[in-house]
Amino acid sequence: MKIIFIGDIFGQPGRRAVKSILPEIKEKFAPDFIIANGENAAHGAGITPKTAEEIFSSGIDVITGGNHSFDKRVMWEEWDKFPDLLRPLNFPEQVPGKGITKIEKNGFTLAVVNLQGRVSLPPTSSPFEAIDKLSHTIKADALIVDFHAEATSEKIAFGYYADGKVSAVIGTHTHVQTNDAKILENGTAYITDVGMCGAINSVIGLDREIALKRFITLLPYGFKVGEGRAKCDFVYIEINKNGKAEKIEPHTIAEKD
């Protein structure tokens, strides 16, 4: 089984990059499934029905989320209309949506789980306890986890904890692709952060001039998405018939000039 996992889609430049770069990704890697984190897809914070439809129509099979998933209130009543749009599973049960989905394609069944870390993020229930329960109950050829977390230590710890229980743990949230993609001892593919789809000359997707003003002055300058040429960070994963990962490769493709 071949899987592409695309980093956090940030605003219109990120959505545009996915649409323009995805055909090249498909031609080069011939993936069975494509997953993308979309919690920043609508103007860099949250997701809307329109942006969700745009991302799915570009060829994405599953959209995962995170702490910004519900930043756009217009989505609160619409979330359940999208069966393969996820928010973290360890959010409170009364929150709209779900944290896991299963999809079938090309003779394979893939389960995708979205979990959020607890260090320097709003409080949630334990992602460690959640994965213990899921790994014993989910029936699929492979199980991929989007672990949306701030602290690299928490991501690494979760990767080791989930090793052998899931096929891959893909870190999201910090928007900078890390140089630690590997197969763990018990067959789980791992990377601390897959990166993002967004403006190249930005501060993790934000307009760099606005970001600099905020850091230098500590004043709450307005939020603005970075513009210009964009790129997509992603990982390519191969999983064998036993649900174990055999390959994980990080990649970055930029829009054409």
**Count of residues making up the chain:** 257
SS3 206: strand
Report the DSSP pairing between strands 33-37 and 142-148. unpaired
Distance CA 84, CA 82 (A): 6
Name the nearest CA neighbour of 5 among 151, 144, 115: 144
Dihedral sign for Cα 184, 148, 234, 36, please: positive
Catalytic residue among 68, 148, 175, 251: 68
Distance CA 118, CA 193 (A): 16
**Other Cβ atoms within 10 Å of 191 Cβ, number:** 27
Helices within the chain (DSSP H only): 11-29, 49-57, 127-135, 152-162, 208-217
In this structure, what token pair is assigned to residue 9? 């889609």
In this structure, what token pair is assigned to residue 1? 């089984």
| Active site (annotated) includes residue 68 | yes
Distance CA 145, CA 155 (A): 11
Burial of 120 (0-12, 13-18, 19+ CB in 10 A): exposed
Catalytically active residues are: 68
